[in-house]
Structure 1
Amino acid sequence: MQFYAICPKGVEGLLADELESFGATNIKEHPTHIAFEGDLKLAYTSCLHSRLANRVYLCLLDDNFDSVDELYQKVNTIEWSWHYDFKQTFLVNCVARKNKHIRHSGFGGQKVKDAIVDYFTERYEQRPSVDKENPDYRVHALVNGNQIKVGIDLCGHGLNQRGYREEGGRAPIKENLAAALLLRADWPALAEQGYDFHDPMCGSGTLLIEAAMMAAKIAPGLLKPEYAFKSWKQHDEALWQEVLTDAMDIAEKGKQGLKNHFYGSDSFRKNLPLAKDNCQASGLAEFITIEEQDIRHPKKEAISDKGLLLSNPPYAERLGEEEQVTQLYRDFGDYMKVRCDGWKAAFITTDEQFAKAVGIRSHKQYKFKNGALDCKLYLFEVTEDNYYKPFDPTKWNRDWENNLAEGAVMLKNRMRKNMQRLKSYLKQNDVSCYRLYDADLPEYAAVIDVYENEVHIQEYMPPKEIPDKVSRKRLQDIVRVTAGLLEIPEVNVHLKQRQRQKGKQQYTKQSGDEDFKVVYEHGFKFQVNLKQYLDTGLFLDHRKTRKMLMNDVEGKKFLNLFAYTGSVSVYAAMGGASTTTVDMSKTYLDWAKKNFSLNGITPYGHSFVQSDCMQWLEEQSGERQYDVIFLDPPTFSNSKRMETTFDVQRDQEQLISLTMSLLAPKGKLYFSNNFKKFVMEEAIGEQYQVQEITGKTLPPDFKNSRNHHRCWLIQHS
């Protein structure tokens, strides 16, 4: 009899070895499955005992086809009545790859279903029914190029669903992948030698339970011994009971002789009851200890003399989590050295940098897929000979240029060139906050702004076709090169992802950190926050604009609309103007007041107004007059405080008209915005004197930037 079994990617070789141990012959590995031969007892044994397969199929067709009609004919000629009755319900699952005739799996499944239905209709004039929820049997069709393989599912459910786990907890690992990790870590041999087992981040307890089942030689299917082959016409119930009874006897003896100890712990308290319930459901709770423990604050004593630690630590799944997760792996390394000295250890993770952070040399790695994520299992000997000091992000890495990727070398050269170009300008103008890089290289699409001894990096959202792993590696290159060139520790580099901000997003906190820093610009002090918001509190591209305004406002009345954190108002006040600062956000107005205070500016002669700027302009009705106005609106806004939305392109004429009604006859309006596609309405140019002065307002570090403002000087005619 011919069979095939499917399993997670990276597990194929292990599954082939497992099937061979069951007595399978003529085993062949394929990219999507393992084909093998054997008798009916082997089929039952594979379903009951396989720790690695997802499903096992009896193969009814293994052939080539050159058209949809030929596929239909080959499936239709299978003697389906030998296997099932027309009264039984069925369901077809199809996986189709690289075939010009069957371009998607749904179409392939439909054709296979039609062939089966027509088989019974032609011979018995009875049409079998399809049941998508609970069919009596499942048909599996695998189309790979011009090859077609059709089988009937002997399992009826995924073999990884052992029956002991109702819930998976946070980031659960599938049972058959857990078993594969244990096999790669040589757990069966270690268990025979009396090793203990430990998972310090056990989650729902999957690795612990699989390890205990493996050590006790408990067939993984014993908790859920209900299989689809029981409704198959060729099923041999006596043979199945023989296989089942043998497995139960082996399991009982295995539990009685189990001497290994299994220790699980987790810092996430909600995982503990779940893990204990799963252990109880597995029938192995008496052998497994579960306790609350944070690896950052471990007990000082060793767990035992010898054991295997195997775990599935967290991965960095969102931007900006890398440093937090990296620190966890450093703590993990320290934990192993304290509690598992002399042990063998292994863990699975997505990033080599995390593995390096533990500070223990790995002697072997294996590739796996954990769901859609590319991962590696790292094996370790926890001995002092293998310890090394991992990279410390709190200190400048003097070896940052070693083994740079080719792209990272190009990035380094470009950034170094930018630094050289800006060197004299920064020194002569007392500038310590500037733009160093703005997506100069397409592969490294990010904005890098320097704030004295810290750096703010905004990554542009990568195209969907770029794999996450590639994007993360490039981002790591940016951080490494930036920190290295500027001779600062990597903890001083702050990451955010830049994308078009819509509505309230532009005011949304990016983290919960209240981490403010005071920086200098032209001798003035400003408070910035490099962690909490998408924008830092100081628009660097307006550095030259701010100084231009300061030189033009002495003894005048100055109005700052959409003022943000009031940096332009600070310059105006220091230039001798009385200022009015208007913004809708109390947070930003309070920030502006702090900037005033930092520069020793008394509040007298200056006012701060919390209001929707459009509404405030309408309320003034031209009653007040200002000599100089700075107007820098957002591209779009729909805050809760606003009754309507604001769009700078759509609303420009009304906005400028209202603003000009407050401008003195010989006054100046500096109008700026960051909308790349902005087009000034002709009506504005016909009514007022309009001159674009963007070139005069851009500092050298923004001349080649693709993200800077445009600026116009508008005056009454």
Structure 2
Amino acid sequence: MQFYAICPKGVESLLADELTSYGAKEIKEHPTHVTFEGELAVAYRACLHSRLANRIYLCLLDEQFDSVEELYKKVNRIEWSWHFDINQTFAVTCVARKNKHIRHSGFGGQKVKDAIVDYYQERYEQRPSVDKESPDYRVHALINGTQLKIGIDLCGHGLNQRGYRADGGRAPIKENLAAALLLRAGWPELAREGYDFHDPMCGSGTLLIEAAMMASDMAPGLLNHQFDFQHWKQHDDEVWREILARAKVQAEKGRQNLSNHFYGSDSFRKSLPVAKENCEASGLAEFISIEEQDIRNPSQKLISEKGLLLSNPPYAERLGEEDEVTELYRDFGDYIKARCMGWKVAFITTDDRFAKAVGIRSHKQYKFKNGALDCKLYLFDVNKDNYYTPFDPTTFNPNWENNLSDGANMLKNRIRKNMQRLKSYLKQNNVHCYRLYDADLPEYSAAIDVYEDEAHIQEYMPPKEVPEKVSNKRLNEIVRVTAGILELPEAEVHLKQRKRQKGKQQYTKQSQEDDFKIVEENGFKFQVNLKQYLDTGLFLDHRKTRKMIYQEADGKKFLNLFAYTGSVSVYAALGGAKTTTVDMSNTYLNWAKKNFSLNSIAPYGHNFIQADCVQWLEEQEAKPNYDLIFLDPPTFSNSKRMEQTFDVQRDQESLIDLTMGLLKPEGKLYFSNNFKKFSLEPKLKERYIIHEITGKTLPPDFKNSRNHHRCWLVQHKI
């Protein structure tokens, strides 16, 4: 008989070894699944004993197909009545990859379902019922290119769902991935040698329970041993009962002989009751102790003489968390060195930098997928010969130039050349916030901005053909070289990824930190945030534009539309204008008010209006009240607060007409936007005097930038 088992990516070879131990033959590994052959007893053992598989399927079809029609015919020819009766319910799941005919898994599942239903209709003139929630049988279709596998799920539930975990707690690791980590860490052999087990960040206790089950030789399916094959028409109940009975005897014997100790701890108090409940449900609570403990302030000095520490520490899941998580891993390293001397240690994480922060050399790494995240399991031997001082991003690294790649050296030389080119301009104009680099080298595609004693890096999305590993390496090199040249700690170099903003992504927070910094420009003060938002609060490319408005503002009435954080309004107010600042975001208007306060601008004579700028313009009576207007709309917006979408290319004519209705006959409108492909509507030039002045408004540090504004001066024809 033919079968296949589904598993997490990276677990295939381990699963193949496991299936071999159950008597499986003709084993072949594939991405996320393993095919094998054997008697029915082999599949029963796999359902009950497998620690690694998600599900086990009886394979009914494994063939090539070239069209949707051929898929239907092949599925329809299967003798479904051998497996379930017409009065029983079924459901179909489908996974489709890389097939030009079946581009959507839902479509593939629908065609398989149709073929099964029609099989019964043709033979019995009746149709079986589909029950997606609780079917008697689950049919699985796996389409990979032109290869089609059709199987019946023998399990009925995910084998990772052992039955002991009612609550997963925070960011739980799946049980079969936990088992895979234990196997890679060598736990079965270590357990037999009398090693103890410790997880100091145990969460809901999954690793502890899996380790105890493994050490006691307890089949993971014993807690949840109702399987769909028990009501399959070809089920052999005698074989199954014998396998189940042997597993129970084996587990009881292993439990009686279990001498290992299992220690769990966590600083998150709410996790502890969950972990203890899960241990009770596993039947192994008497072997597992769990306590509240922070690794930075441990309650015990030595756990035992020899053991395995295996843990799943937190990852930096949001931008801005890297520094905090790196610090946690440094503390984790100190904990290991103080309390686990001579032990084996392993942990899984998403970033090499976190592993390096532990300060112990790893002798082996394995790649895994934890959900959608690419991770590595790092293995360590805890002895002083493997210790080293981890890199500290909070201090400047004087050795940053050591072992730079050829590409990083090119980047270093280019940034230094840019600094030399800008040196006199920055000094003469007392500029402290400026653009240092903007994707000058295609391989290092990012913008680097300096904000006094900190740096802000915006990475542009790399092309799809560039592997993620390569782009991450280059990004790390940008951070390292930037920090080195500016003589900054890497913690003062703030990294964000810039890509086309769509829908809910627009102007969203990049981290949860409220960390504002006050910077100076032309003697004026502004609040910026280098961590929390994609844009920092001060558009550096408008430095000259702001100064032009300041020089023209005395005695004028000034209107700032799409005002963002109001920096242009600050210049106008300090230049002597009465200002009106309009933006849809209350957050940015409050930011603008803080910028006014920083510069000791009295609120009298200055208005702040929270409104959709387009709607606000439509509601005005076209009275020419303003001498000076700055209009800097976004390229595109579909905010929930807007009644309709805004597109600067599409809507420019009506937007400028509405704005010009508020401008006095002798007044000036400065119209700016950042859309690279923007083309001014010719009809506007028939109604107004329009000159592009981008060259006059662009400072030297943005002359070669790939992302900067364009600007037009618009005036009435008199």
Task: Report the TM-score, using the length of structure 2 for normalisation.
Answer: 0.86
Q: Tell me the alpha carbon deviations over residues 555-579 of structure 1, each in whole angstroms, 9 at most, x when there is no partner.
A: 75463635665655665677xx533
The one-letter code of the counterpart of 2:330 is R
Quick check: 2:633–2:672 contact (8 Å CA) kept in 1?
Answer: no
The one-letter code of the counterpart of 1:214 is M
Q: CA deviation at 1:249?
A: 1.5
Cα distance in structure 2, aligned partners of 1:382 and 1:639: 53
Quick check: 1:362–1:378 contact (8 Å CA) kept in 2?
Answer: yes
The change in CA–CA distance for 1:86 and 1:670 in structure 2 (over 3 A counts) is: closer
The change in CA–CA distance for 1:386 and 1:660 in structure 2 (over 3 A counts) is: same
The change in CA–CA distance for 1:149 and 1:591 in structure 2 (over 3 A counts) is: closer
Cα distance in structure 2, aligned partners of 1:589 and 1:101: 54
Cα distance in structure 2, aligned partners of 1:531 and 1:112: 50
Name the counterpart of 2:594: 591
Cα distance in structure 2, aligned partners of 1:551 and 1:80: 84
Q: CA deviation at 1:120?
A: 5.2
Greater radius of gyration (CA): 1
Quick check: 1:560–1:568 contact (8 Å CA) kept in 2?
Answer: no
Name the counterpart of 2:310: 310
The one-letter code of the counterpart of 1:593 is F
Q: CA deviation at 1:461?
A: 5.3
Quick check: 1:164–1:279 contact (8 Å CA) kept in 2?
Answer: yes
Q: CA deviation at 1:384?
A: 1.6
Name the counterpart of 2:347: 347
Q: CA deviation at 1:246?
A: 1.5
Name the counterpart of 1:197: 197
Name the counterpart of 2:276: 276
Q: Secondary structure at the match of 2:662?
A: helix
1:521 aligns with 2:521: yes
1:456 aligns with 2:459: no
Cα distance in structure 2, aligned partners of 1:244 and 1:16: 22
1:252 aligns with 2:256: no
Cα distance in structure 2, aligned partners of 1:97 and 1:504: 29
Cα distance in structure 1, aligned partners of 2:328 and 2:52: 30
The change in CA–CA distance for 1:526 and 1:147 in structure 2 (over 3 A counts) is: closer
1:657 aligns with 2:661: yes
Q: Tell me the alpha carbon deviations over residues 614-637 of structure 1, each in whole angstroms, 9 at most, x when there is no partner.
A: 7699989879775xx352443378
Q: Secondary structure at the match of 1:222?
A: helix
1:239 aligns with 2:232: no
The change in CA–CA distance for 1:54 and 1:430 in structure 2 (over 3 A counts) is: same
Moved more, 529-538 or 700-709: 529-538
Q: Tell me the alpha carbon deviations over residues 108-146 of structure 1, each in whole angstroms, 9 at most, x when there is no partner.
A: 555655655565566666654444333333334444555
Name the counterpart of 2:540: 540
The change in CA–CA distance for 1:350 and 1:405 in structure 2 (over 3 A counts) is: farther
**Which one of the candidate residues 588, 606, 609 is aligned to 1:608?**
606
Cα distance in structure 2, aligned partners of 1:587 and 1:67: 60
The change in CA–CA distance for 1:638 and 1:93 in structure 2 (over 3 A counts) is: closer
Name the counterpart of 2:154: 154
1:393 aligns with 2:393: yes
State how 1:463-612 maps to structure 2 within 5 Å: 472-498=472-498, 511=511, 513-550=513-550, 556-557=555-556, 559=558, 561-562=560-561, 567-568=567-568, 577-584=575-582, 586-597=589-600, 603=602, 607-611=605-609
Q: Secondary structure at the match of 2:397?
A: coil
Between the two proteins, what is the percent identity of the paired residues? 72
Quick check: 1:570–1:595 contact (8 Å CA) kept in 2?
Answer: no
Q: Secondary structure at the match of 1:286?
A: helix
The change in CA–CA distance for 1:671 and 1:480 in structure 2 (over 3 A counts) is: same
* Unmatched tracts of structure 2, length 5 or more: none
Q: CA deviation at 1:346?
A: 0.7
The one-letter code of the counterpart of 1:340 is C
Cα distance in structure 1, aligned partners of 2:592 and 2:420: 37
Q: Tell me the alpha carbon deviations over residues 212-261 of structure 1, each in whole angstroms, 9 at most, x when there is no partner.
A: 11111111000011112211333232332222111111212222222222
Q: Tell me the alpha carbon deviations over residues 51-82 of structure 1, each in whole angstroms, 9 at most, x when there is no partner.
A: 11222233444455666676666656655554
Moved more, 443-452 or 281-290: 443-452
Cα distance in structure 2, aligned partners of 1:298 and 1:182: 24
Quick check: 2:445–2:460 contact (8 Å CA) kept in 1?
Answer: yes
Moved more, 180-189 or 585-594: 585-594
Name the counterpart of 2:173: 173
Q: CA deviation at 1:647?
A: 7.6
Quick check: 1:506–1:534 contact (8 Å CA) kept in 2?
Answer: no
Total equivalences in the alignment: 703
Moved more, 27-36 or 382-391: 27-36
Cα distance in structure 2, aligned partners of 1:616 and 1:100: 50
Moved more, 404-413 or 701-710: 404-413
Q: Secondary structure at the match of 2:134?
A: coil
The change in CA–CA distance for 1:170 and 1:462 in structure 2 (over 3 A counts) is: farther
Q: Secondary structure at the match of 1:201?
A: coil
The change in CA–CA distance for 1:616 and 1:105 in structure 2 (over 3 A counts) is: closer
The change in CA–CA distance for 1:656 and 1:300 in structure 2 (over 3 A counts) is: farther
Q: Tell me the alpha carbon deviations over residues 428-455 of structure 1, each in whole angstroms, 9 at most, x when there is no partner.
A: 3332211112334455443321112211
Cα distance in structure 2, aligned partners of 1:503 and 1:131: 36
State how 1:20-59 maps to structure 2 within 5 Å: 20-59=20-59
Name the counterpart of 1:709: 709
Moved more, 1-10 or 706-715: 706-715
The one-letter code of the counterpart of 1:253 is K
State how 1:50-129 maps to structure 2 within 5 Å: 50-63=50-63, 79-97=79-97, 105=105, 109=109, 113=113, 116=116, 127-129=127-129
State how 1:397-412 maps to structure 2 within 5 Å: 397-404=397-404, 408-412=408-412
Q: Secondary structure at the match of 1:342?
A: coil
Cα distance in structure 2, aligned partners of 1:66 and 1:424: 67
Quick check: 2:15–2:52 contact (8 Å CA) kept in 1?
Answer: yes
Q: CA deviation at 1:611?
A: 3.1
The change in CA–CA distance for 1:623 and 1:668 in structure 2 (over 3 A counts) is: closer
Moved more, 328-337 or 527-536: 527-536
Q: CA deviation at 1:19?
A: 1.8
The change in CA–CA distance for 1:67 and 1:522 in structure 2 (over 3 A counts) is: closer
The change in CA–CA distance for 1:552 and 1:16 in structure 2 (over 3 A counts) is: closer
Cα distance in structure 2, aligned partners of 1:183 and 1:659: 74
Cα distance in structure 1, aligned partners of 2:442 and 2:212: 51
Q: Tell me the alpha carbon deviations over residues 478-500 of structure 1, each in whole angstroms, 9 at most, x when there is no partner.
A: 32222122221111112334456
Quick check: 1:6–1:53 contact (8 Å CA) kept in 2?
Answer: yes
Cα distance in structure 1, aligned partners of 2:316 and 2:239: 49
The change in CA–CA distance for 1:486 and 1:27 in structure 2 (over 3 A counts) is: same
Moved more, 60-69 or 13-22: 60-69
Q: Tell me the alpha carbon deviations over residues 466-517 of structure 1, each in whole angstroms, 9 at most, x when there is no partner.
A: 7766655443333222212222111111233445678998776655545443
The change in CA–CA distance for 1:245 and 1:432 in structure 2 (over 3 A counts) is: same
